[in-house]
């Protein structure tokens, strides 16, 4: 046997179980037969190569591995390493700070569809972001998500409740606490789904209360009379005045009014017209977007009272192109009036009509039209279709209007019965 072969044989000797080999570096390598029938070299728990300074060290490790296999505790090194990495990632996730996780959550809702498979509107993401950046991060900072419990949330709630309402300083409610709590609970529920916390804290979110008005406010004040609507129409510059009638008598939202185009108005041979709501001017982006929901896409009969004003408005102020905006910035222009510009125009028109309170919103014109619709006997389903509502609970607010009509009918019934009984 040559000297080289003798040296190699001396460097690699089979033990009673497994084998040891001296590497060119001078360190020792251990190999062993595993229960799966394969030979493995020594590896760390992170599945990295493991060598030993001395032969004794290698032999000791090999004996320990033999004991582990005999006890049935052996697993392939790759599987052990994978589990350790998963455990380490879970430990890191469980210690993640609120700021880091909240930013990750915002990115998730911005890029991923919701449960119905739709992307969230830019305005929705912006609203959630403002709650996170304006209130939640200043409150919790780098506090680990797992440490945000009921007591911490109660402290935050008390602090939020003390913020005066920007709309009505005299109000008991500021319109801040509820939406901030809602966003926080959305974040914590997602943290529970991600396994960061066992479950979201059981917190009761307070009922939405009116901020603009106090408890003594009469809801009838949010409904304009036909005379007030007419006065607002006359107080608005001519080329924009049709917006008042579209909101009141066609019950359009502000973005739906500003998103209308000439092609959305269908004239009929009998002189009537149908208005098709197909888009809105988005208040957040300034671009056209889909209506608030699928229910928002609807066709509406234009009431007789506004047919002539609408026809004249189209003749005088709207360009002939199919996509020309119905409410343009300039006469026969191609650019729709913006939400901001309309806000100033509306404010001046409202101030010019003394009988209309300063708290009366442009959106209340839509409420006015739907209230009258209800008083004329429209069913809840008809109100939902007319208003483009997808939630029955929103439309239930008009029940007080139908009750007025119901009392009127009940009184008529009483009068008829009394008359017939008197005749008998």
Instruction: Give the CA count within 13 Å in the CB-facing half-sphere of 31.
Output: 12
Which CATH number is correct for 221-406, 1.10.443.10, 1.50.10.10, 3.10.580.10, 1.10.8.60?
A: 1.10.443.10
Same-fold call for 98-193 versus 221-406: no
268 vs 274: CA distance, rounded Å:
8
413 vs 424: CA distance, rounded Å:
17
Please state the domain extents for the chain. 3-78, 98-193, 221-406
Q: What was the pLDDT predicted at 378?
A: 81
Q: Per-residue pLDDT tens for 293-302?
A: 888 899 999 9
Burial of 292 (0-12, 13-18, 19+ CB in 10 A): middle
- Lowest-pLDDT range of 283-292, 308-317, 399-408: 399-408
CA dihedral 49, 55, 58, 59 (to 10 degrees): 150
Residue 257 pLDDT exceeds 50 = yes
Q: Per-residue pLDDT tens for 11-68?
A: 445 567 999 999 999 999 999 999 999 999 999 888 899 999 999 999 999 999 999 9
**Global pTM value:** 0.57
83 contact partners, CB below 8 Å, separation of at least 6: none
Q: What is the CATH number of domain 98-193?
A: 1.10.150
Higher pLDDT, 186 or 91: 186
């Amino acid at each position: 046997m040559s000297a080289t072969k003798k040296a190699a044989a001396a460097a690699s000797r089979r033990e009673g179980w497994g084998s040891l080999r001296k590497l060119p570096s001078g360190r020792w390598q251990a190999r062993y037969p595993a229960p799966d029938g394969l030979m493995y070299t020594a590896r760390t728990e992170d599945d990295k190569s493991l060598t030993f300074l001395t032969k004794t060290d290698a032999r000791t490790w090999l004996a320990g591995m033999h004991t582990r296999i005999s006890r049935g505790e052996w697993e392939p090194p790759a599987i052990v390493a994978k589990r350790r990495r998963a455990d380490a990632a879970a430990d890191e996730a469980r210690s993640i700070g609120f700021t880091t996780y909240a930013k990750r959550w915002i990115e998730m809702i911005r890029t991923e569809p919701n449960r119905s498979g739709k992307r969230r509107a830019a305005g929705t993401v912006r609203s959630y972001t403002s709650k996170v950046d304006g209130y939640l991060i200043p409150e919790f900072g780098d506090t680990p998500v797992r440490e945000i419990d009921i007591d911490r949330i109660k402290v935050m709630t008390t602090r939020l409740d003390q913020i005066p309402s920007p709309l009505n300083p005299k109000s008991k409610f500021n319109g801040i606490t509820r939406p901030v709590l809602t966003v926080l609970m959305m974040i914590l529920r997602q943290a529970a789904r991600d396994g960061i916390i066992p479950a979201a804290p059981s917190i009761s979110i307070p009922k939405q209360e009116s901020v603009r008005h106090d408890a003594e406010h009469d809801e009838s004040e949010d409904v304009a009379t036909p005379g007030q609507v007419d006065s607002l129409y006359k107080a608005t510059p001519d080329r924009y005045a049709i917006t008042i009638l579209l909101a009141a008598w066609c019950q359009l939202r502000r973005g739906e009014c500003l998103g209308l185009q000439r092609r959305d108005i269908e004239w009929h041979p009998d002189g009537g017209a149908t208005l098709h709501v197909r888009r809105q001017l988005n208040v957040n982006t300034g671009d056209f977007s889909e209506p608030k929901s699928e229910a928002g896409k609807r066709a509406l009969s234009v009431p007789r009272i506004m047919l002539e004003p609408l026809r004249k408005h189209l003749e005088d102020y709207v360009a002939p192109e199919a996509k020309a905006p119905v409410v343009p910035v300039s006469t026969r222009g191609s650019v729709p009036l913006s939400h901001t510009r309309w806000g100033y125009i509306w404010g001046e028109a409202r101030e010019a009509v003394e009988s209309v309170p300063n708290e009366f919103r442009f959106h209340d014109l839509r409420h006015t039209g739907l209230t009258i619709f209800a008083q004329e006997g429209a069913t809840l389903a008809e109100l939902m279709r007319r208003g483009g509502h997808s939630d029955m609970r929103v439309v239930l607010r008009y029940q007080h209007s139908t009750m007025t009509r119901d009392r009127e009918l009940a009184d008529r019934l009483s009068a008829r019965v009394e008359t017939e009984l008197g005749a008998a």
